[in-house]
């Protein structure tokens, strides 16, 4: 009897266990069905998203068979859908491209990471360039997103061509620079030497034989000597101007006030009838010799401009702006017409005759080039017979400014 009861209990236990297994299997089946539904739902959502973009979307099996696709328009496709659905992508495409896709699919399934493939296809509108991105999906499937990159490729080719043209122009510029250096050497030696001889002998004639010449003869010699001096100065200015681009800058802290005052004093030794107003000038970092040349040229112009006046006044000052300092040289001389302001800093541009305003016509061009090498700008303002102001800007290292604490009055004012 006891054995019979035991057997019955075993049967009951087995039935319970079987029911539990069946329930677990049913639950597992329902879970699997829910997962499949979620995947289908997500796939449907992705398909809807891809339809909104010009990209092509393909879903592939593990062997590359095209299971599904989405295209904004059938004209985007290489072949009609009936020609590729159910077939391997590597068989539909040209053999070389198909081989690329076969290798990419194998790599994606192996590494579970995205792989990119770029290729070209002959389309009705001409050869088009594409980029395909292959990504792993559930159940050893692969998603392929294809984008037309024809315009990008064309832009890249244009940029490449522009870079090649730029290299060619750089080589041409290097050749021109070499020729310019050779020309400068020729000017420095072949032209300057004869001028020095002519000027030297003319000066000796004036010193030793002037009493033997009549007034007309002395005038001729004066004219020869003066013009040889002008030509020598012009050659010096042109050599300075042409050499500025290749000259290595020696950057240091420059005391602009001391530099401007020193240049002014040197010029006043030769022409003392000038009054200087020197305002505070902020220090900058730059090539001291170059910046000195800027002051020499601007102050020389101011001296020449104020020469006709008995009370020549020259002011040197500055205006500090964010990240830069603006310096100016102002005079009360002959001035200029603002309609000609854009010509001032060009080579050989003269607004006054040599008799009215001596010079070579290169000085302001030198100023512009020097300031340009320092990353600054030059400009000028003036009025005829009222004077002129020449400005130049230089970058400044921005100091760390402590944040200002507002006073109670300022806080109250801001609230109101």
Distance CA 96, CA 117 (A): 12
Residues with Cβ within 8 Å of 260's Cβ and at least 6 positions away in sequence, in order, are 278, 281, 295, 299, 316
Residue 187 neighbours by CB distance under 10 Å: 15
Domain membership flag for residue 214: yes
- Token pair recorded at residue 362: 């290169």
* pLDDT by residue, tens only, the chain of 416 residues: 445 444 444 544 544 455 455 556 555 656 666 666 665 666 666 656 555 555 788 888 888 888 888 776 666 778 877 778 888 888 888 889 888 988 998 998 998 889 999 988 888 888 889 898 998 877 688 888 888 888 888 899 899 999 999 999 999 888 887 777 777 777 667 777 788 888 888 888 888 888 888 888 888 888 888 788 777 777 777 777 777 777 788 899 999 999 999 999 988 887 777 888 999 999 999 999 999 999 999 999 898 888 777 678 899 999 888 888 999 999 998 888 888 788 888 876 666 555 555 666 788 888 999 999 999 999 999 998 888 999 999 998 644 343 444 444 444 444 44
Is the domain of 290 the same as that of 368? Answer: yes
Q: Are 132 and 233 contained in the same domain?
A: no
How would you class 254 by CB atoms within 10 Å of its CB: exposed for 0-12, middle for 13-18, buried for 19 or more? buried
User: Angle CA(345)–CA(346)–CA(352) in degrees, nearest 5?
Assistant: 80
User: How many domains does the structure of the chain reveal?
Assistant: 4
- Same domain assignment for residues 169 and 24: no
Residue 31 sits at the vertex; the CA angle it makes with 26 and 33, to the nearest 5 degrees, is 95
pTM of structure? 0.52
User: What pLDDT is recorded for position 194?
Assistant: 81
Domain of residue 284, residue span: 250-411
Query: What CATH number does residue 106 fall under?
Result: 3.30.450.20
């Amino acid at each position: 009897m006891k054995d019979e009861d035991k057997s019955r209990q075993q049967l009951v236990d087995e039935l319970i266990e079987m029911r539990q297994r069946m329930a677990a299997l049913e639950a597992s089946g329902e879970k699997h069905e829910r997962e499949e539904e979620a995947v289908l739902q997500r796939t449907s959502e992705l398909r809807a998203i891809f339809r909104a973009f010009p990209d092509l979307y393909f879903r592939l099996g593990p062997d590359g068979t095209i299971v599904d696709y989405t295209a904004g328009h059938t004209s985007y496709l290489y072949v009609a859908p009936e020609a590729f659905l159910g077939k391997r992508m590597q068989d539909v495409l040209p053999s070389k491209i198909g081989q690329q896709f076969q290798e990419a699919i194998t790599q994606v399934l192996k590494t579970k990471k995205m792989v990119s493939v770029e290729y070209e296809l002959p389309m009705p509108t001409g050869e088009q360039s594409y980029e395909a991105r292959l990504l792993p999906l559930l159940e050893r499937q692969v998603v392929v997103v294809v984008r037309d990159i024809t315009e990008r490729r064309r832009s890249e080719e244009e940029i490449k061509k522009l870079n090649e043209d730029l290299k060619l122009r750089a080589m041409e510029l290097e050749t021109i620079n070499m020729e310019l250096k050779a020309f400068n050497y020729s000017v420095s030696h072949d032209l300057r030497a004869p001028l020095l001889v002519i000027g030297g002998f003319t000066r000796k004639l004036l010193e030793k034989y002037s009493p033997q010449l009549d007034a007309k003869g002395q005038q001729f010699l004066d004219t020869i000597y003066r013009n040889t001096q002008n030509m020598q100065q012009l050659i010096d200015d042109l050599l300075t101007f042409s050499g500025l681009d290749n000259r290595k800058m020696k950057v240091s802290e420059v005391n602009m006030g001391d530099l401007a005052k020193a240049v002014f004093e040197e010029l006043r030794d030769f022409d003392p009838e000038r009054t200087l107003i020197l305002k505070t000038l902020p220090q900058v970092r730059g090539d001291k010799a170059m910046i000195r040349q800027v002051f020499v040229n601007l102050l020389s112009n101011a001296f020449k401009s104020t020469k006709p006046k008995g009370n020549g006044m020259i002011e040197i000052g500055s205006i500090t702006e964010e990240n830069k300092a603006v310096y100016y040289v102002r005079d009360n001389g002959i001035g200029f017409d603002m309609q000609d302001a854009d010509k001032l800093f060009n080579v050989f541009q003269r607004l006054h005759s040599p008799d009215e305003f001596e010079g070579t016509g290169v000085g302001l061009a030198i100023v512009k080039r020097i300031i340009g090498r320092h990353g600054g700008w030059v400009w000028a303002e003036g009025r005829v017979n009222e004077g002129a102001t020449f400005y130049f800007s230089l970058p400044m290292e921005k100091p760390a400014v402590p944040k200002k604490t507002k006073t109670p009055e300022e806080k109250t004012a801001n609230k109101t």
